[in-house]
A = this chain, B = another copy of it.
């Protein structure tokens, strides 16, 4: 095959000091400044000097030391990214968007998962400041933002993604959650449903509050639900708001309870795809038919949304675009730290498919099979 099968040393040679500009300069017979100029590609040097330096560099295998450069430039060409969990498709796609836009600008992405733990987020942000990241993109776990303020004050610009922080003056890229949620619930109401439930999956530690915790996104979506229900004249007592734990099992259990209770909802709106997954599990468990027994609309257009039968009506978010915009906003902010914070609200759109049907005339009782 003619492939280069030379044995890799896998770092065992790493203890040997790596050549520096001084080494190159010495070997090329020029001053260190000259070597640095051609190696760093700035200033000017005579063609002869340039050639000599390049040759010497090649011979001894010189590689630039970006750490030393960062020390002088003050830039690391990296952005810190804080999300709950890249393992979740939504975040994975957002991170991909960030990565694309960042690398298009020569920035690398340093990724941290917090699992919505404020402590983990605080630690990550402070580490990012110490490491002199050029900037941060965060999906904040809670409303408290002193740590982000501190980062900004220390000269590390911050861009918020997915969630807004009341009272914080950062650039932010979000979608219009309230409107999108209201629109989805309205679709359900239009189909004649009255007992419409909203199921959210709250991060660990907050679900015990019986609320969605401090997650802005969820709060907004619930607000959208309430607005639509109110506008439709559904009495407050008929509203069904449930917060489950942040995983498929927990949402499945919550949905199971919801579906089998007396005066069960005939339609469910889930605020994220983890919850949607849980509801679908529960639906199958009680043998309910969608949309004959229950109608369903979920947030996020998962790859499997068109695979299940019936295909799911969903609220689609521009995930990749959200990430890309956040990165671009950060890049702008790095270039102009003094600019006024700007919020970009992207549109989420309702994608009609087949999981919404007319409310049943007579509500069939559901029970685990």
Chain B residue nearest to A91 in the complex (CB): B92
Interface size on A, as a range, is: 35 or more
Chain B residue nearest to A5 in the complex (CB): B167
Mask of A263-306 contacts with B, CB within 8 angstroms, 1/0 = 00000000000000100110000000000000000000011101
Q: Within 8 Å of chain B (Cβ to Cβ): is A13?
A: yes
**Once the chains are docked, how many angstroms separate the CA of A158 from the CA of B65?**
19
The one of B14, B70, B157, B280 that contacts A67, using a Cβ cutoff of 8 Å:
B70
CB–CB A112/B99 < 8 A: yes
CB–CB B337/A67 < 8 A: no
- A207 — which chain B residues lie within 8 A by C-beta? none
- A135 — which chain B residues lie within 8 A by C-beta? 11
**Once the chains are docked, how many angstroms separate the CA of A337 from the CA of B68?**
24
Q: Within 8 Å of chain B (Cβ to Cβ): is A71?
A: yes
CB–CB A15/B96 < 8 A: no
**Once the chains are docked, how many angstroms separate the CA of A18 from the CA of B71?**
13
CB–CB A95/B86 < 8 A: yes
- A338 — which chain B residues lie within 8 A by C-beta? 12
CB–CB A8/B67 < 8 A: no
CB–CB A108/B99 < 8 A: no
The one of B7, B68, B76, B86 that contacts A169, using a Cβ cutoff of 8 Å:
B7
CB–CB B71/A67 < 8 A: yes
New contact pairs (9) apart from A3-B167, A8-B145, A280-B307, CB-CB < 8 Å: A11-B157, A11-B333, A18-B154, A61-B153, A63-B154, A67-B76, A87-B95, A96-B113, A277-B303
